[in-house]
Every structure is written in structure tokens, then in C-alpha cells.
């Protein structure tokens, strides 16, 4: 391993390293350390506090799956909120949906958006769409202030530590419920079943205590620890499993498809087991 | 990254590192360097020439998916051949099938089997089953010598470099075809769609030039480069997509299930695109 490498300590015991072609940007924002490096394996890469957030090579998996699954579960999503997601990738996918009239991006750190616009134009390219509103504020405060406003809310956050921890609490899910219209739904990225099983179980039960429909789905993102990644969805009315694949529009996507929509909810037994707490197992 | 770590250079530009609790074994066999290390993230790990082959934590994904997909595609698999797979993981899954009367393991390196028996008993535990025959010989030579012998052949090899390169040629697939019964089928591990797209395309077309039915399926294996992994299947008669999930027996598995069997063949568009060569695209 000679030369220049960027290394993420994915867990205290696991590290992923990529050879660096060029370090393009580094700064300390009011919220975090932000860097952009160009890597041989994944192209340009955005890191926050030394954790890989997205890369040009594999971002399509994450952004397509966090956006199109909820937006195709809702039969006519008009107003969509993204919390976090300052790179613009989720917004780029959302505005592919003709039904969407308004996409609000609530990102706490204005420097993430500015830096993505400069160095990751293929990801940030949707941010100038006329339907997009960008607000630099705390997502937790934002959902507290709204009632029956959004059709879909997407929590595109960093890992559940530090400022993002508040995006993974029962109280936050209650405020998301309130900010959604009576038939609204939300989705959040919720970490790895190989390394964060207890976390996924807690989030699942917290969402299920607030929303009538709770589902987990999977996608494989090479730069995230373990590759296999969960998304957790809470819905007031529409079940993502009840969507007729034939009714899903064929959008230009590279990972998501109407067939992948359904397959993503097929959970291997070890992931199903995570969702059932010890108490529930005792009851069975 | 203080302390003792084991690092695999997964590509020339990408490295995975695991913190080491203890190095249990190292030797130079006649064929390769073989080591067993106990890691915090994945438990005990087998490396050949410094490439991670299997770990106690994630081996179930690979071994279940390479064994149960072909064995449940065949309606009554009796004689099964594994080429490579000296750790015994594929054999452990194969002998869960009551129809199997004979499981032959052809591993070139006797030291892999002996070391797995000593240090990876939870993986090697099936090797003492009375239906299992172990032969220390070259898998390429083995299939050349047999005709209409096997129901299922599983190529559980190292990466397609060095001695394993001969397991990924059109000539080898022709010999596999010959060694299979008239309704036989085979499967091989065939690398990452993120990093080995050209390789996967070539293998797919080579298999398709020999077998009437060719299919690719996916599973996510955290310790393999990119996580997302392909398996390629060539079949004389039975189509893995035509299997009725209701007829698949419920075996004790943690990743594979009748539902996962079907979902694994749902390929994201970027994987589907890999299978179509440039010439074919021009024809369309």
C-alpha cells in the first residue's frame, strides 16, 4: 500500500482504503470536516468527518433506492422533503418524477451543498431545478414546524452519531408523522445488518410504534461498511409491497427498476430475525 | 489504525483491513500461502495468497447461495461435485439435501482442507459425512475424465488468476457440460459487477455458447470487493427461474430462502447491461 490513500475506519475494527489520485478540497465547516478526494476505485468521493458519504461510482445505488422506492409507493407524490442529502443526489432522482411539484432540501450545512455543486456536478445537477427549494436549517426543527405538509419525507442523513442522532428517535418519527399528509410516508437510511443489528431493530420498532405500516428494504452500496444496507420505511396508508410493478413508470435508472423495487423487500432470514426482539421471540 | 491489522488489496486501488485478535496459522503450501487469522470484525478468516476466502461471520451468504440455488433448481440432485471449496462450506450446505447420495470435493491443495478442519470447524463440519468423498487433485483434470457423471457441479474457486484461471475458460465449460448428466447444471462464483464487468460478460457468453440456459444471480458478501457478488449458472434443462418457490424445501439457512432464490435473479439494470456485449448492443 505505497502512495497516497484515504482510509475510513468503518467500524473500530474494519477499514476501507482507496488510492487517491488527487485531494481536491478540505475544510472545517461550522458542523464538520468536509473533504473531496478523487480516487482510482470510486472516482470523486465526499467525506464528512472522514466517513465516506457518496462517490461518483456507486452513488446511483443509494440515491435511486432512497428516492424511487418511496416515490413509487405513493401513487401521486407532489411535495417531497429531503432531510440531509446536501450532495443533491436524492433531489436529482426525485425530480425525475413528473408528479412532483415541490422538492424541499433541508440541509444543516450550506458548505456541503456548495462543495457538491463545485466538485460533484453529476450528483448535484438537480439542485437548480425550478421545483427545488434549499433551506439551510436543522431537519429536526423543520419537521416540528409543519403539519400535513408533505407526501414523502426522505431522511438522507449521516450515521446516527453526533448531530444526526436526533434523526433516529421515536420523537422525531412522531414529528415526521405529523409533518406528513394523511396518506404520507417516509424513508430513512438505517445502516448495516451485519454491523448494526441492534440499531436496526430499535429503529424498526420505534417506527412501528408510530406508523401503521413499517417495512425494511435492502441495497448493496460498495463504499458502506459490509456493503449490504438497510432502508426503513414508515407509511400511513400505502404499502410498498402492494405496488403493482406494471404501474411503476420506467425512469432512467441503473440500480432501481420495478422488479428491483419488489426484490429489495425480500429479506434473507438473518435480516428478518433482526427485526424480532428477544421479547417477541419469547412470546412466539 | 494502531495495532495489528490484516489488509487485503482487493484491487490495486482498494484495500480492506481488519483488526487482528490473533494470527493462528501461516504456511506456504505447494500451491499458495495459507493463513488463518482471528479478526474482531469477522471472526476467524481464511486467506490464500493474502486474499480473503471466507470468514466465520459472513461465510453463510456465499456457501448457501453457491449450493442451494443449483441444488433447488435441480429437482432431484444425487451426485454433486465441488471444485475448490477446500474449507468445506459448500459441502456442509450440499449435505443438507436429503436427495444427495454422493458429494465429491475436488480440492488441489490438501493443506486447505486440513487447516479448515483444525481452525474452521463450523465451516468444515460436513466433511466427515459418509456421503462425502475428498480428492486432492486438479479440478480441470477431474472434469476431463468424467462423462454424464454429475447432477450438479459447483465451481467454488479462488479469483480467476494463477491456477484458477483455467476454471473460467470455454474449454473448461465444455468439459463441465460433458461431465454432467443429460439434465445437469453447474454454477461458478464469478466476481464483482462493480470491478469485473468485462470478466463477467466474457464468462456469461462463454457459458451461453455451451449451455442452453445461462443465468446470473447476486448475493452480498461483505468481505469480497464491492460486496455485491455474481454467480453464473449454466444448465442443460432446468431453469432456476422456473422453480416454484412453494416446492423448495425449508432448510435451516440464514441468507438463502425460497423467496431469496427468486429475488437473487432480479438484476439491477447496470448488471443486465454488463451481459450485453457491444456487438449485441449494435445489433439491437
The pLDDT, as a whole number, for residue A162 is 85
Contact at 8 Å (CB) between B136 and B108? yes
Q: Which residues of A touch B14 (CB under 8 A)?
A: 16-19, 40-41
| Residues in the annotated binding site of B for spermidine | 63, 87, 156-159
Q: What is the mean pLDDT of residues B260-270?
A: 98
The answer to whether the beta carbons of residues A74 and A239 sit under 8 Å apart is: no
Q: Does A226 touch chain B (CB under 8 A)?
A: yes
What does each C-alpha distance from A76 to A150, A248, B29, B219 come to in angstroms?
Answer: 12, 11, 63, 33
Closest listed residue to residue A242, CA positions, set A190, A195, A185: A185
Average pLDDT over residues A112-127: 98
Q: Where does the pLDDT of residue B162 fall: very low under 50, low under 70, confident under 90, or very high at 90 and above? A: confident
B residues 188-217 near A, CB within 8 Å? 194-195
pLDDT-derived band at B1, boundaries 50, 70, 90: confident
pLDDT computed for residue A179 by the predictor: 98
- Minimal CA–CA distance to A86: which of A44, A60, A54, A58? A54
Return all residues near A246 (Cβ < 8 A) that are at least 6 apart: A258
Of all residues in chain A, the one with the smallest CA distance to B269 is A254
Confidence label for A163 from pLDDT (cuts 50, 70 and 90): confident
Query: Per the annotation, does A63 bind a ligand?
Result: yes
Confidence check: pLDDT of A282 > 80: no
Q: Cell triple for residue A179?
A: 409533518
The three cell numbers locating residue B266: 432480479
So what's the pLDDT on residue A284? Answer: 45
Residue range B157-170: average pLDDT? 92
Average pLDDT over residues B134-161: 97
Mean pLDDT calculated for residue range A112-136:
98
Q: What's the grid cell of residue A77?
A: 407524490
Which parts of B are annotated binding residues for S-methyl-5'-thioadenosine? 32, 107, 138-139, 163
CA A25 to chain centre: 24
What three-state secondary structure class fits A224?
coil
Residue B156 appears among annotated catalytic residues: yes
Beta carbons of B92 and B197 less than 8 angstroms apart: no
- What's the pLDDT at B284? 45
Active-site option among B58, B151, B156, B206: B156
Can you tell me the mean pLDDT for A123-152? 98
Dihedral sign for Cα atoms in the order B96, B93, B259, A279: positive
**A1 touches B: beta carbon within 8 Å:** yes
Residue A62: pLDDT above 50?
Answer: yes
CATH class of B59-283: alpha beta
From chain A, the residues in CB contact with B259 under 8 A are: 266
Mean pLDDT of A129-138: 98
Q: Report CB contact under 8 Å: A255, B269.
A: yes
Please give the grid coordinates belonging to residue A203. Answer: 429503529
Are B240 and B226 spatial neighbours (Cβ–Cβ below 8 Å)?
Answer: no
Domain ranges of chain B: 5-55, 59-283
- Domain range B5-55, its CATH number among 2.60.40.10, 2.10.109.10, 2.60.120.620, 2.30.140.10: 2.30.140.10
Mean pLDDT of B126-144: 98
pLDDT for B221-238, tens place per residue?
999 999 999 999 999 999
Interchain CB contact of B43 with A (< 8 Å):
no
Burial B125-163, CB ≥16 within 10 A → b, else e: bbbeeebbebeeebbbebbbebeebbbbbbbbbbbbeeb
Decide if B19 and A5 are in contact by the 8 Å CB cutoff.
no
d(CA B142, CA B176): 10
What are the tens digits of pLDDT across the range B46-92?
999 999 999 999 999 999 999 999 999 999 999 999 999 999 999 99
**Mean pLDDT, chain A, whole residue set:** 96
Amino acid at each position: 500500500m505505497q502512495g497516497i490513500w484515504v482510509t475510513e475506519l468503518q467500524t473500530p475494527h474494519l477499514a476501507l482504503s482507496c488510492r487517491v489520485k488527487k485531494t481536491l478540497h478540505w475544510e472545517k465547516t461550522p458542523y464538520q470536516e468536509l473533504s473531496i478526494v478523487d480516487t482510482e476505485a470510486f472516482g470523486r468521493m465526499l467525506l464528512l468527518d472522514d466517513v465516506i458519504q457518496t462517490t461518483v461510482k456507486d452513488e446511483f445505488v443509494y440515491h435511486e433506492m432512497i428516492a424511487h422506492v418511496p416515490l413509487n409507493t405513493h401513487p401521486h407524490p407532489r411535495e417531497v422533503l429531503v432531510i440531509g442529502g446536501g450532495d443533491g443526489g436524492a433531489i436529482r432522482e426525485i425530480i425525475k418524477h413528473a408528479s412532483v411539484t415541490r422538492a424541499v432540501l433541508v440541509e444543516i450545512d450550506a458548505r456541503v451543498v456548495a462543495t457538491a455543486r463545485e466538485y460533484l456536478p453529476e450528483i448535484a445537477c438537480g439542485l437548480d431545478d425550478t421545483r427545488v427549494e434549499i433551506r439551510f436549517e436543522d431537519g429536526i426543527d423543520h419537521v416540528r414546524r409543519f403539519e400535513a405538509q408533505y407526501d414523502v419525507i426522505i431522511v438522507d442523513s449521516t450515521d446516527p452519531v453526533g448531530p444526526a442522532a436526533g434523526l433516529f428517535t421515536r420523537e422525531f418519527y412522531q414529528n415526521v408523522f405529523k409533518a406528513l399528509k394523511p396518506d404520507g410516508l417516509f424513508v430513512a437510511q438505517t445502516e448495516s445488518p451485519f454491523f448494526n443489528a441492534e440499531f436496526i431493530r430499535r429503529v424498526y420498532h420505534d417506527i412501528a410504534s408510530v406508523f401503521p405500516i413499517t417495512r425494511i428494504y435492502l441495497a448493496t452500496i460498495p463504499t458502506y461498511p459490509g456493503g449490504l444496507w438497510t432502508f426503513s420505511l414508515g407509511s400511513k396508508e400505502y404499502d410498498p409491497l402492494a405496488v403493482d410493478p406494471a404501474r411503476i413508470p420506467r425512469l432512467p435508472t441503473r440500480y432501481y427498476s420495478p422488479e428491483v423495487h419488489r426484490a429489495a423487500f425480500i429479506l434473507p432470514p438473518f435480516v428478518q430475525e433482526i427485526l424480532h426482539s428477544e421479547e417477541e421471540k419469547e412470546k412466539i
